[in-house]
Amino acid sequence: MSFLRKVALISVLMPLAVSSQPPAANDAVVAAADKAYTSQNWAEAETQYSALTKQSSMNARFWYRLSISARHQKDFDVALDAMQKAKTLGAPNGLPAFIAEYEIADTYAAMGDSDRALTSLKASADGGFAQPARLTGDMEWNALRQNPRFIELSKQVQHNAAPCEDAEFRAFDFWLGDWDVASAATGVHQGSSHVSKEMSGCVVWENWTSAGGPYFGKSYNTWNVNLKRWEQYWVDNAAGVIFFHGGLKDNVMDYWTDDVPQPTGGTLLRHLQFFNLGPDKVRQFSQGSNDSGKTWHVEYDLIYTRHPSQAAPTASQ
């Protein structure tokens, strides 16, 4: 399962896991505790959940809320002990350890114990904590905001939340837009292409439509974080499939295929390049080789001109 799918699944399951454990305590008592908690009456909430954990010592939700309430009351030893119990009890029931670890870090920060706060925050970030708004909004971190370790961990949490905002994923942004496409040699119109950023910036998605015919295709381009390279997967309505890999070199997206067996025999090696010619122009140049790169023939040479109705994307888009 991918990291992002795990994070999405966790975000769905965590509230259920923490809140769905059937309490052994009287429903009216639980309701009173919950009311105090949601209204941020921390003193009353701490008293109520302290009593509930004595009645239902295996309920992770009670321990979790006791910890949060105690921290707001500056009962830090109680808060740390309760969150550790919530972490232990919650792990088999869908409460991610990194959520509890973050709350432990927050408590240490409130205590002024910077070293333990940052150590626990690193454990949380390494585990997948992905709530950067907590780091910017929780006042407990105010004294550490200029701390280099905190700054780096904040970047890690931001990366967990939005990994495709990393610089590597923006290398192909020069191709984004709506394009009129013509032959580089003759200027004859060949088709049009809509290229957009999709899936939270993780994919550069091309939609190609040929002029004067039914042919169309799509390509999915992304930075492969494991192999440290760009990849393109092309599919079309003629059952065509091509897989490229490569990367940005000197402002050129440089893609290659492997030697691919052909239906008529032999193999075909392709070299596909996208030249960034400015904010409103891109050249797409494809060559093929039937002898493993000894000699090459031009497959197509196209100029993409940005549709006049659309401005070039800015660096922040």
Inform me whether the pLDDT recorded for 133 exceeds 80: yes
Residue whose token pair is 């032959």: 183
Pick the CATH number of 170-306 from 2.40.128.20, 3.30.450.20, 2.40.50.140, 3.10.310.10: 2.40.128.20
d(Cα 118, Cα 97) in Å, to the nearest integer? 16
The CATH superfamily of 3-165 is Tetratricopeptide repeat domain (1.25.40.10)
Predicted TM-score (pTM) of this structure: 0.73
What pLDDT is attached to residue 69? Answer: 98
pLDDT value of position 17? 43
pLDDT at residue number 208: 97
Give the model's confidence band at 5: pLDDT under 50 very low, under 70 low, under 90 confident, else very high. Answer: very low
pLDDT at 18 over 80: no
Q: Up-side HSE of residue 143: CA atoms within 13 Å toward CB?
A: 12
pLDDT in tens, 248-271: 999 999 999 999 999 989 999 999
- Pairing between strand 229-236 and 252-256? unpaired
User: Which structure tokens are listed for 114?
Assistant: 């910077």
Confidence of residue 155 (pLDDT cuts 50, 70, 90): very high
What does the pLDDT read at residue 313?
59
Question: Over 90: is that where the pLDDT of 26 sits?
Answer: no
pLDDT score at 7: 41
For 49-82, write each residue's pLDDT tens digit. 999 999 999 999 999 999 999 999 999 999 999 9
- The 10s digit of each residue's pLDDT in 217-242 is 999 999 999 999 999 999 999 999 99
Lowest-confidence segment of 64-68, 87-91, 140-144, 191-195 by average pLDDT: 87-91
Q: Which long-range contacts (CB under 8 A, 24 or more apart) does 267-275 make?
A: 267/292, 269/293, 270/242, 270/244, 270/299, 271/296, 272/232, 272/244, 274/172, 274/174, 274/175, 275/251
SS3 312: coil
For the segment 77-131, what is each residue's pLDDT rounded down to a tens digit? 999 999 999 999 998 888 899 999 999 999 999 999 999 999 999 999 999 999 9
**Per-residue pLDDT, 310:** 64
Kindly list the domain boundaries of the chain, sorted by start residue.
3-165, 170-306
Mean pLDDT of the chain: 91
State the amino acid at position 88 in one-letter form: T
* Nearest in space to 195 (alpha carbons), one of 176, 208, 209: 176
pLDDT attached to residue 314: 53
Does the structure show a pLDDT above 50 at 23? no
